[in-house]
Amino acid sequence: MKTLNVLPRQPFIGLAMAASAGVLIADLAPNHSLVLAIALALLTVTALLTRNSPAVYALVATGFFFLHSVRTSDSPGLRLARELGNEPRPVTVCGAVVSEPKFAANGSTSFLLQTESIEIDAETRPCRAKLFTRWRHAVEFGDEVKLFGTAEKVGAPRNPGEFDMRSYLARQDVHREMIVRYPENGAVLNHSGGNRILRAAQKSRAWMQAALRRDLENSPDVTGSINGMVLGLRHQTPEDIEEPFQQTGTLHLFAVAGLHVGIVARLLWIVATVVRLPRKWATALIIPALLFYAAITGLHTSSVRAAVMSGVLLGGFLVERKAFALNSLAAAAMLILCWDTNELFSIGFQLSFSVVAAIVLLADPVYRFLRRRFEADSFLPRSLFNARRRAQTQTLLWLARAGSVSFAAWIGSLPLMLWYYHLLTPISLVANLVVVPVAFLVLAGGLLSMIAAPFSPWLSIVFNNANWALTKIILGAVHLFAQLPGGHIYLEHPHWPRGARVEINVLDLRSGAAVHVRAANRDWLLDAGPARDYDRVLRQYLRSQGVNRLDGLALTHGDAGHIGGASGVFLDFHPRQLIDATARDRSPVHRKFIAMFGSERSTRRLCQAGDEFNLSHDIRARILFPPPAFEGERADDQALVIQLVVSGRSRALLMSDSGTATEDFLLQKYSDLQSDILVKGQHHSGVSGSDAFLDRVQPQAIIATSRIFPESERIKEAWAESVRARGIKLFRQDETGTVQVRIWRDRWEARTYVTSETFRSESR
């Protein structure tokens, strides 16, 4: 009976569930909105006639169904996208910067632009759509600008594991990005536009950052971490520092949530008590202050949720009623969904509410379970305990309380961390016990520093330096936990066993290359792509495949587009052996990597034509080129050519960026080059894949890199037509993205990532 009474006493739980159901139905069946709307309307009318509580839930579900349908079917962003079409269009727009600008190393600034007017084909009209904008010019939140550039579709991910920027922006009703090529193609018209409250929050944040940074200017990594923990500014934390926090399950320290809002509320309550404000007056002032703090920290879901939830709990004092934590949490979810139904699909929303709900539901039962094992016998008089025994008991009880919260939070985040980040973090149960108390002190010190800054700068500096020491402790502890074996594990999404002997994934890295080969649970990487794509593409791809360590890394030649990411691969995935060419090259990137690799005393094997190495017990890699003591004029001319032999049969020929000179050598040296699949890049001359070479290899499919610029990296249309005329399936990676090849004993198939096209082999 207790379970049945939960919903009447905490009505927002049922309302939030109904609202979520309505949004989900509208999102999953957008093409059947009319039919579903009629069905929901009939259900609502029927429920209302019966005069029971399901009527309210049906009404809420119907309302949110219509709300989400309207927002996702006829929004300003969608109307602009339909007007612009699928091709890039030159436009001139006027509008305001409505997101915090992000500055790239190349000088480009990206931000969301809320347009007020747009000029298309010399015709100016009002427009309220948002555009994701890139401009080589410094701007601030609220700036009113006029820009001329190209509006085009937001790029879709081209590789597994790659962040889907198109879907992320679409949830914010942003369906086009605007590229402003040159700084002079735009101008800042006004520095005081945008929402006044948010602009005031941005200015307050800038002042707070300056206060927290005082006397710590020489420690940018530490100040970035302090800003992240106190103000939730994750983008100021270097990625190499942020990553260990993710791997130890402590990244929540950089998301302003219940801990941060609770401390702020506590400090404000203390101030109200000191000045002897009545309880209701204090509550009425603290609630908007918490909402303003959420605005200062960027209005992220976790901060809004915590502020609204705290406001509901404090609001109980105003109406003199008890507030329930789970009901307050559901009320916060309802308010956020009323503001934007698309928040239901954001990672931040899901993580924030699932973790807090798990803590509310599980923390107390787990604590009671642990307390029974740590607590002294209740029949023993406490006067018999000495100081040591009392301290031991209190410490164990504190550990039980902290451990129960940590365990509940881990359980709440576990399915989402596995789904979105492919990450399991058992070490977080211990890491949070160590790091969170210290982070509590950092947050309190940061708030005290900001309070003291206007009145006593020297006291603010004292708090800042104390925070510097505490943050160093946190960074050291997190890095230590992140390096513990088994502390974190990357896992591939579950799938039915495919039974393939080998799986080859040819990633789309523009003019670069990286080929992942998996056989018998062994993972090899052939080339590592360019450095600029390592963090964004290659590392995310390997983690999405559940790769924690590579069995081997093979580098074909010294081109930065092929080995630029090798240093990152070595540091993150620790390949057990390195396959490299004997041919000398003049690549500084290659020399730097070899120096780093050699300092670790890892196994490096130099290979030349005639050498072989095993990828698994029945998969062998044969080196066909270059021959001993060979030196080419360019790096492309001395690239390794690797033939993969599966169960004694040649299946794939990996040519890297080899040109016709290499192909002529192979034709003279080897009589049997026949391979089912040919994987090739583009030679610097733009000439490769000769007719004679294709006649000898006789591939059924060719996977080839291609990009528009420079001309040498582009597949020639005449060559492509010639390949198709031979009956060979051509996978152009500028069209297909990653191509995955699975090879069985007597067959194979290739599947493209972008177009989802599947090609199956023919019997030979």
Annotate 300-356 with three-state secondary structure: CHHHHHHHHHHHHHHHHHHHCCCCCHHHHHHHHHHHHHHHCHHHHHCHHHHHHHHHH
Cβ burial, residue 588 (10 Å; 0-12/13-18/19+): exposed
Cβ(563)–Cβ(532) below 8 Å: no
3-state secondary structure of 291: helix
pLDDT single digits (tens) 69-103: 888 888 899 999 999 998 999 999 999 998 888 88
Q: What is the pLDDT of residue 63?
A: 84
Q: Of residues 253 and 384, which shows the higher confidence score?
A: 253
Q: Which of 231-240, 627-636, 670-679 has the lowest mean pLDDT?
A: 231-240
Cα angle: 557, vertex 558, 561; to 5 degrees: 95
Please enumerate in sequence order all residues whose Cβ is within 8 A of that of 618, keeping only pairs 6 or more positions apart, or say none: 501, 520, 646, 647
**Per-domain residue ranges of the chain:** 6-73, 82-194, 201-362+420-483, 363-419, 502-760
Q: Is the pLDDT of residue 235 over 70?
A: no
CATH number 3.60.15.10 is the correct assignment for the domain at 502-760: yes
Q: What is the pLDDT of residue 55?
A: 72
3-state secondary structure 476-501: HHHHHHHHCCCCCEECCCCCCCCCCC
Closest-CA residue to 689 (of 656, 711, 736): 656
Q: Is the pLDDT of residue 143 over 50?
A: yes
pLDDT single digits (tens) 419-447: 999 999 999 989 988 888 888 888 888 88
ω before 497 within 30° of 0 (cis)? no
Q: What is the pLDDT of residue 379?
A: 63
Q: Is the pLDDT of residue 6 over 50?
A: no
Q: Of residues 743 and 633, which shows the higher confidence score?
A: 743
Report the C-alpha gap between 92 and 150 in whole angstroms. Answer: 9
Mean pLDDT of 556-562: 91
Give 601's pLDDT tier (boundaries 50, 70, 90): low
Q: Is the pLDDT of residue 489 over 90?
A: yes
Give 106's pLDDT tier (boundaries 50, 70, 90): confident
Please name the amino acid found at residue 274. V
Do β-strands 729-732 and 701-704 pair in parallel, antiparallel, or remain unpaired?
parallel
Q: What is the pLDDT of residue 2?
A: 44
Report the C-alpha gap between 605 and 598 in whole angstroms. Answer: 12
Give 239's pLDDT tier (boundaries 50, 70, 90): low
Q: What is the pLDDT of residue 51?
A: 57
Q: Is the pLDDT of residue 123 over 50?
A: yes
How much of the chain, in percent, has pLDDT values that exceed 90? Answer: 43
What fold does the segment set 82-194 form as a domain?
OB fold (Dihydrolipoamide Acetyltransferase, E2P) (2.40.50)
Radius of gyration of the chain (CA): 30
Cβ(91)–Cβ(119) below 8 Å: yes
Please enumerate in sequence order all residues whose Cβ is within 8 A of that of 106, keeping only pairs 6 or more positions apart, or say none: none
Report the C-alpha gap between 440 and 444 in whole angstroms. Answer: 6
pLDDT single digits (tens) 256-300: 666 677 777 777 777 788 878 877 788 888 888 887 777 777 666
Q: What is the pLDDT of residue 4?
A: 41
Q: What is the pLDDT of residue 258?
A: 63
Report the C-alpha gap between 666 and 692 in whole angstroms. Answer: 11
Mean pLDDT of 389-404: 82
Report the C-alpha gap between 310 and 293 in whole angstroms. Answer: 12
Dihedral sign of CA atoms 126, 129, 133, 139 in order: positive
Secondary structure element (H or E) that encloses residue 124, with its range:
strand 123-126
Cβ(69)–Cβ(129) below 8 Å: no
3-state secondary structure of 760: strand
Q: Of residues 229 and 579, which shows the higher confidence score?
A: 579
Q: Is the pLDDT of residue 585 over 50?
A: yes
Give 555's pLDDT tier (boundaries 50, 70, 90): very high
Q: What is the pLDDT of residue 655?
A: 96
CB neighbourhood size of 379 (10 A): 5
> Does pTM surpass 0.85?
yes
pLDDT single digits (tens) 47-59: 666 555 677 787 7
Do β-strands 186-190 and 144-153 pair in parallel, antiparallel, or remain unpaired?
antiparallel
Give 746's pLDDT tier (boundaries 50, 70, 90): confident
Dihedral sign of CA atoms 141, 147, 151, 156 in order: negative
Q: Which of 68-82, 171-185, 733-747 has the lowest mean pLDDT?
A: 68-82
Q: Of residues 295 and 496, which shows the higher confidence score?
A: 496
Report the C-alpha gap between 681 and 658 in whole angstroms. Answer: 7
3-state secondary structure of 554: strand
Q: Is the pLDDT of residue 1 over 50?
A: no
Please name the amino acid found at residue 141. F
Closest-CA residue to 542 (of 520, 570, 501): 570
